[in-house]
Chains A and B, each alone.
Chain A
Amino acid sequence: MKKVKQKARKSNTTHVFILIGILLVIIVFLFFVLQSGRKDYSQKQAQSEPSPTPSLKTYHSDFLGLTFEYPPEYEVEEEFTNAVYLKHKNGTVEIHRLFSNLTNIEDYLIGYDSHRTIEILDKQNLKIDGYNAVNRLEKFSGGPINEAKAYFIFIQNVAIYVFSTDDENLYDDLDQIARSFRYDP
């Protein structure tokens, strides 16, 4: 009888360890899945949506060389100065095409910010349509805008596309619009 109990105790301990081990594996697995999911979100977003979501409209400009999708409640205003404005009753999402000889987005943003009184509150590196991009929350000292959110998509030897809005209510839309960007000359 004793022997049996000892065996049972031993096997119980082993089971616990095994369970803990399994749990650990699961946790680690979940962690990595979530991380890669976040990083690859934009890529998956671009790749997993071969056709426009029915509720969104598609904008394409030969002049700007891009395509993106946007909610139908926005009105598009095109400017000849390398810009498109999406007008919403709450505010505006601006899309600009900028140019530079610099070869990476970090150097570009250093120069870009050097002429501004700006504080970066949050910054995220990501890929949009396979291109290096930066998504950031900006705070300004002076000028008409206090805070803004912007996506910079850097296409070397082509252009830098900036998607931004200073209306907090449109941040989610900005996320959707910017992440739907496709370089489409």
Chain B
Amino acid sequence: MKQARKIILFLLSLFLPFLFVRFTDSVHAETLKVWEKAENTIFPHTIPESTILPGGNVMVVGQGLEFENEAAEIYDPGTNSWKVSVGISPLRLANTVTSLKDGRVLVAGVGYSLEGDELTSEIYDPQTDTWSDGGDMKELRFIHETTLLQDGRVLVTGGLWFDRMKSAEIYDPETNLWSDAAPMSRERFYHTSTLLNNGKVLVVGGQFNGAESIKSAELYDPQTNKWSSGGNMHVTRYAHTATLLQDGRVLVAGGVEDDSVRSVAEIYDPVTGIWTETGSMNTTRFSHKATLLPDGKVLVTGGSTQNNFSDIFYTNTAEIYDPATREWELINAMNDGRVDHAAELLPNGDVLVIGGFGTGEDWLRSTEILRSSVPAPFLDLPWDYEGQGKEFADVALEINAYFDHSYPLFGSGLGEPFEYLNQITTYMGENTIRKPYSRHDGYDYGSYASGVKNGDSVYPAAAGVAEYVRDRAGGHGIFIDHGNGYQTRYYHLQDIGLITKTPGVKISVNRNTVIGKVGSTGEHTTGPHIHIGVFQDKNKDGNFDDNVPDGATDPFGWQSTEPDPWENYSFLQNGVQKTGNKSYYLWKNKIPNLKKGLSSNGGVFHVANFGLTFPEDESLDGLTLEAKLGPVERVTNSLVSLGPVIDVILKDPLGSLITILTKPLLVTIDFSKADLSRFKPGTISIYSSSDNRKTWTKEESYVDYLNKKASAEMDHLTHFALMGERIDTQPPATTVGLDGLKGENNWFRSDVEVSLKTSDNEGGLGVEIVLYKIEGGEWQEYKEPLNFTEKGEYKIEYYSQDKDGNLEDPKSTEFHIDKTIPEAKIYFDRNKGEMVIEGVDDSGDVVLEYKDLERKREQIVLVDKAGNNLVIENREKENDKRLKFEIYTLTYNHTEFLQEKNKFEVMYEEKKGEIKKLDQNFKIKDQEKVSLKYDIKDNKTKIKENKEKTEADGLKALILFTDQGELKYSF
């Protein structure tokens, strides 16, 4: 920081003259022209005319549509409210409204009372809020002109009543009488009449006959009651405007030249009597309004852009003429297009525009105010917080003492009302006795938290011209005029290090100039700190001292929806009535989430990693903001959001949604926590959706990969997200392995080990997780092979997900475990006349295979689905109805059981296929275990088992069966 300042000071010394010019130019901060909607009139008024009342209220007169007591209303700028002024005659069309020198108001022209009485003029007395008869004009007229003369009388010229008129008459407020004045040289209506500084009245142009417009001007001398030529304009015109400039010349602009609407303007110089062309307006217009602004420029609003009586082309455009440059500049358009409206310059320099015929094809109630003094933010904190690694938002609220909006009178020495002692109102509308301190007219900073310590350098909040001031309470002070109507004041500076200590010396400074050191000079200071106060030159006289305290401004603006007490505070100072000041947010940097609502100062909001910056725009006034996060968006398999989506909802005071902005909103997204490795380079961008996430549009975005921030400007809402195209869009693939003693078709006769093997696609980001589920169970993460040991039927489901969330479709596999070896059943089939061997297994089918062995033996292999096998080595003899079956070994899955000598014998007699006799026996070691003898004669089977004899009806079959290595029988 020190090095930088040295370099800059060196450069300044080399190029000071040029830099001075440049800095002078650069300190003139842009002034924004902002139209704010004001309260609508209570009734619409036809061709309204207006005037300022004493105290700053505005009266508008124009007959209403109901022809009742709605012809006049009064607007209070302080409360932004209208009230009907009762008592004026209801029919007042295209009358003139003139403020008299004594504060009363003259309404002149044709009018009719409710009873149908013809009235010409009426007088309004603001002190009594009453209307009275203004006397009978000499002639009925409307679309005339009225001018307050220097002597307090009122000149009325021309107009129309069944015929165009050239007559003139004068009203005397003191006598309440009308008298004839000398007539003009020609009939005129839709002309203009302007009081010149020399006391004469300049009447210009007008309509003469049908559509014919007039080029000439004439001058009325009230002293002599005579008219003289005012020369000719360069063009004919009617329904134009004429404005007395601050230098005494008259600007005439627009109007209709015969059938054409003109944008041309010219200036009349009363000194030379010469008309000179000047810059043309940007828009052709007639029946517009022109208002002289406090800075000498002229504001023109509305009007009709085409002269077509079948259609009215009212415009909402507004432009400003600068006499110095002779040029017109378009400013922000009004909210409503309007023609034949009223416009008044308010005491604070704002312009009030009322009614007219316009938007909606009707006489309007709408009213709007041009805030001529909304400054563009231009201030920064007066210390090097950035050099301390801090951001504006970190330190701006580390405030020792606040600006008191009720009321900042400290610098003036004025006292505040009793009920406001000891308490302050902060810029948020917060009322408390706890925050320092009451009557404070600036902000104090001085703490470890803000980084402002004793002896620290103090810098200008903005470039400007600095001068030294010594104050009893403030100690050493530096005041800086920023050239834009604002001054900042810094107090309590140390005695050393001041940029100047000589009163009256003025020095140009910029943001890098040290103007002093943090100290605690002055009485009653509470420790070392910087006091910074902001004052506006409200009366624009270049002197800020005469605007203490009424020019005191809070650089945080007024962020509450309640009225700002300071702006509306009226007080007496040295016998002069004054009002407080309107505060605007003047810091160049925004503070996030300053308030939930938006204002013409815009607003900055942070929600998670999203930043929303709303621009300065009067259309945002009063809107409330809701912002919430939504789930990650997957537009396609490839295009997904890097994190959540934000839903931004703007509502107007009535709760209606606002989806289109007149100025773009800046959306910034911090993606420092996003995994960029998932996305194809260069594909990351901000997307928006205006149809509730059905479709997404890629926005022109600036993506800073170094700082991991993306930004885009958009003029629409509601959903925003940072999206990119994924590198890996394919899911991984999992295969399953079953390991065990396998029979057929996933039948196993042993324990089974299930293993899942997953691999991601080429170029993929890798497998994140593999999950499996055993039928009837829960999904679990697969980490190692699974072992199954119990007999049964199994179904395994599985799938995987890669590191980018691609999911594999679930798969499944089924297998059986059957460890039970089939057994055999041997019996004599009397139908076939042979021994039958059958396999018995609970798994179902058993396959038998026969193989001849040596020594007349054979091998019978019984195999189940799992491959379990029982091998029976046996010998079978068959000899003329005598069968023998001997089993030598039983081998179960290679486990052999040697059998004792055994024999299953069957002998039978049959006749014609029918068994007559059947002998069946089973012997082990030649010992008979059981014998069954059947004889058809008695149809009984004699059973002898272990020497016990029984008898059973019918033929019983002896069945030999294997059972885990043993031979058993049944019958």
Measuring CB to CB, which residues of chain A are less than 8 angstroms from any residue of chain B? 79-83, 94, 96, 98-102, 107-108, 110-112, 114-118, 140-145, 148, 150, 157-159, 162, 164, 166
Contact = CB atoms under 8 A, between A and B. Distances in A.
B421 A143 contact: yes
The B interface is mostly helix, strand or loop, or mixed, namely loop
B400 interface: yes
A162 B529 CA distance: 20
Interface stretch (B53-61, B82-90, B193-201, B427-435): B427-435
A166 B527 contact: no
A64 to B, nearest CB: 11
B428 A159 contact: no
Contact of A112 (B436, B454, B529, B591): B436
A96 B434 contact: yes
Contact of B434 (A80, A94, A111): A94
B527 A141 contact: no
28 contacts: A80-B428, A80-B591, A80-B593, A81-B435, A83-B434, A98-B400, A98-B434, A99-B398, A101-B446, A101-B452, A101-B528, A101-B529, A107-B527, A108-B527, A111-B525, A114-B524, A114-B526, A115-B437, A116-B438, A140-B422, A140-B433, A143-B418, A143-B433, A145-B422, A158-B448, A158-B449, A162-B434, A166-B433
B673 to A, nearest CB: 18
B249 interface: no
A133 B419 CA distance: 30
B426 interface: yes
B398 to A, nearest CB: 5
B434 A118 contact: no
Nearest to B415: A142
A143 B419 contact: yes
A115 B422 CA distance: 8
Contacts of A150: 434
Interface string B379-402: 000000000000000000111101
Nearest to B520: A101
B434 A164 contact: yes
Interface of B: 397-400, 402, 418-423, 426-428, 430-440, 445-450, 452-454, 524-529, 591, 593-595
A51 to B, nearest CB: 30
Nearest to B596: A80
Nearest to A99: B447
B438 A81 contact: no
B399 A82 contact: yes
A142 B452 contact: no
A166 B434 CA distance: 11
Contact of A115 (B419, B432, B438): B438
B549 to A, nearest CB: 16
Given A101-B446, A101-B453, A108-B526, A82 B397 contact: yes
A101 B456 CA distance: 12
Contacts of A117: 421-422
Contacts of B421: 117, 140-143
Given A80-B593, A114-B526, A99 B400 contact: yes
A110 B593 CA distance: 34
Contacts of A101: 446-448, 452-454, 527-529
Nearest to A111: B526
Contact of B418 (A80, A102, A111, A142): A142
B433 A99 contact: no
A162 to B, nearest CB: 5
B449 A115 contact: no
A91 to B, nearest CB: 13
B421 to A, nearest CB: 3
A99 B422 contact: no
A102 B419 contact: no
Nearest to A109: B526
Contacts of B525: 111
